[in-house]
Amino acid sequence: MTSGDSNLNNNNQEIKVNRLRKILSWGILTDILIIIFIFLFALGSRGLLISFLGNYSLVGPDAYLMFKYFESLVFNHTVNSFTYNLNYPLPFYLYNKDLVSYLAFLAYLMFQNFGNQIIALLNILQIHPASNIILWLAADFTNAYVPAIASVIFYFLAKNILKDRYLALFSSMIFAINPFLTTRLILFDTELGAIIFLVLSLYLIIKYFNGKPENNRYKKLFLILYSIISLIIFYKTSLLLNPDLYLTIELFMFFFILLLLYPIFRGSRAYYLTLLIFTTALTRKGWGGWIIIPIVFGLTLLIRYFYDRDYKDVYFYLPYIGFTGILDNLLTPGSLGIGLFLSYHNLFLELSMILIFLYEIFKDNKILERITENRIFIIKRYIKDDKLLKKATIFLLIFIISLPFLIDKLITSFLYNPFTYSRMGSTIAEFQPTTADIIWVYLDK
């Protein structure tokens, strides 16, 4: 063996040792211990309810409908095998918002295979389940283990924002016991099914802002094709008879396959946006309040627009409109899906993209310069920076052009008559319409 080969072997061994040291570093071990603590803390605090919830102890029609979905999954492997109005007293069915039922089915499988171990863990936490029927025990346990996972994800979300693991730990503990969240996440309702992917979506948005642009054209092409092909498969599946089970499985598959590619795309903003497509769709599969994600993201991008922060790669996220549109039955054969792009929850994101696109086109345009140089231009009195002035001008022009649409939607449809069938003008509880006329129409049928 030559001295060169010997040095190479020594270098390889040193690299392996350094990797092992990095893996076993105090920071990573601390994070692992914190994750275990948060999970047990959240599981224990939410799990205390299991000691008081016996069989047939759910609250409200939504929870029992979700349980019926879960029961149908267990015995029939579908959620379309029973008549809705025999199990739900309201004429507005929570169809396609049943992710909590699938998470309960996962709990059912866990109890079937590891029931004794789970019961032993609960007993260590001084939790003694009151249910003695596995179906109800699985449903009650879903109220505990799902928020526990969400609390762990919230730790990473808080850590990315606060840049301090101990402040993040404290924040996740508050998240785990927050009474405002607890009242909705212990009812086996739709919010419970969405909370994991809602928090994960917000975490991915933060990762996107802190990430780096993807410069590898092949990686960018792969991510674009992955989302488009997934959307095509998803659309084709939605045309099948009773597609709910297949659609749910596909969403999880698309998400986890992409998640496995994290080592390849680590730190890539385009990758985080592509992941965000599927976490948004999974949140929609669980809860009507999924619109929080595009609204928050869109408003944040609008702020970044005025502060001159780059977000030109946000187009990687656009396929989410297709996935959520399919779940909302707005993208069907023979439909152009125009309503998707005029939905309230998509407007902020679309506006942020239009603004950055128009700015890149008109930033050196003579017409825009003449407008901004005009002495009677009011905005010029308050904005001295030329670049910011041009951006504000484009925003003002778009606002003026869209003013008739805004007046029609916000004033005529919402402020004038808040009890309408539209999402923004209906009740908080799953945005269900409240007018007696609509109810009577359904009853007449």
Unique residue bearing structure tokens 């008549």: 83
Cα distance between residue 417 and residue 436, in whole Å: 14
- Measured in degrees and rounded to the nearest 5, phi and psi for residue 337 equal 70, 25
Alpha carbon 166 to its chain's center: 25
pLDDT at res. 368: 65
Task: Give pLDDT, residue 344.
Answer: 74
Nearest to 159 by CA among 151, 150, 167: 167
Q: Which residues of 327-336 are buried (b: 16+ CB within 10 A; e: fewer)?
A: bbebbeeeee
Q: Is 96 left (phi over 0), alpha (psi -120 to 50) or beta?
A: left
Chain centroid to CA 188: 18
- 31 token code pair: 């994070």
pLDDT along the chain (445 residues), means of 10: 56 60 66 92 84 73 85 85 58 74 94 89 84 87 92 94 91 86 73 92 94 92 96 93 91 96 93 96 92 91 82 90 88 66 80 81 68 59 67 76 67 52 42 44 48
* Per-residue model confidence (pLDDT) at position 131: 82
What's the pLDDT at 115?
Answer: 86
